[in-house]
Amino acid sequence: MVREIQKRAGWMLRFLDHPSAIIGTILVSVLVLVALLAPLMAPHDPYEAESLRDAYQSPSQLFPFGTDGLGRCVLSRVIFGTRISLTVGLVVQGISLFLGITLGLWAGYWEGWVDDIISNATNVMFGFPNLLFALAIVSVLGPGLYNVFVALGLVGWPIIVRLVRGQTLSIKHKGYVEAARASGCSHTFILLRHILPQCLPPVLVMATMGIAGAILAEAGLSFLGLGAQPPHPSWGSMIARGREYIWQAPWITAFPGAAIFITVLGFNLLGDGLRDLLDPRIQSERIR
pLDDT value for 199? 87
How is residue 268 annotated by DSSP?
H
pLDDT one-digit tens code per residue, 94-146: 999 999 999 999 988 888 888 899 999 998 888 888 888 888 888 888 888 88
pTM across the whole model? 0.86
Which architecture, in CATH terms, is 2-287? Answer: Orthogonal Bundle (1.10)
- C-alpha to C-alpha distance for 230 and 143, rounded to whole angstroms: 11
pLDDT of residue 186: 85
Please, how many CA atoms are within 13 Å of residue 98, restricted to the half-sphere of its CB? 8
Residues 91 and 243: their CA atoms lie apart, in Å, by 29
Q: How many residues does the chain have?
A: 288
Sketch the domain layout of the chain as residue ranges.
2-287
Q: Is the pLDDT of residue 33 over 60?
A: yes
pLDDT of residue 102: 92
Arithmetic mean of pLDDT over the chain: 85
Percent of the chain with pLDDT over 90: 29
Return the pLDDT at 285.
47
Span 228-238, mean pLDDT?
Answer: 86
Q: Residue 71 has what pLDDT?
A: 87
**Torsion angles phi and psi, residue 67, rounded to 5:** -130, 160
pLDDT tens for 169-189 read: 888 888 888 888 888 888 888
Instruction: Classify each residue of 45-62 as buried b or exposed e, where b means 16 or more C-beta atoms within 10 Å of its C-beta.
Output: ebeebeeeebebbeeeee
pLDDT band at 5 (very low <50, low <70, confident <90, very high): low
pLDDT of 279 over the 50 cut: yes
From CA 21, how far away is CA 268, in angstroms rounded? 9
pLDDT higher for 215 or 285?
A: 215
Q: What is the mean pLDDT of residues 149-159?
A: 89
Is the Cβ–Cβ distance between 88 and 149 less than 8 Å? yes
Per-residue pLDDT of 66-95, as tens digits, reads: 888 888 889 999 999 999 999 999 999 999
